Amino acid sequence: MGQVTESELLQQVRDALDFSETEDGAMSVLELAASLDISAYAVRNRLRKLIASGSVGLVRVRRAGLDGIVQRRVAYQAVNQE
């Protein structure tokens, strides 16, 4: 990934959440990191700012783990700001 500004990264996170292909429209940190091709650490930093601004909310979603067991996991979802 080349030089990207902070605002561009924030917009990428917003876009990834807005256009999430998951059934519930939410994505985990690892899903976002894979989607954006950046580290989970970088995603967490961006998410903190988006949560503080009210653009993103924390939700619990059902996801299957590697063992196939479905559990509730923390994920993030874009908040409609109307």
Beta bridge partners of 58: 76
Neighbours of 78 (CB within 10 A): 20
Q: Looking at the domain 6-78, which fold is it? A: Arc Repressor Mutant, subunit A (1.10.10)
Q: How is the chain split into domains, by residue range? A: 6-78
For 2, 5, 36, 56, the CA distances from 28, given in Å and listed in that order, are 24, 23, 12, 12
pLDDT of residue 69: 92
pLDDT of residue 9: 67
- Give the pLDDT of the chain (82 residues) as one tens digit per residue: 455 566 776 777 777 777 777 777 788 888 888 888 888 998 898 888 888 988 888 989 888 888 989 999 898 888 875 5
pTM: 0.73
pLDDT of residue 61: 87
3-state DSSP assignment of residue 6: helix
Report how far residue 30's alpha carbon sits from residue 66's, in angstroms, rounded to the nearest whole number.
14
- Residue reference for tokens 């109307």: 82
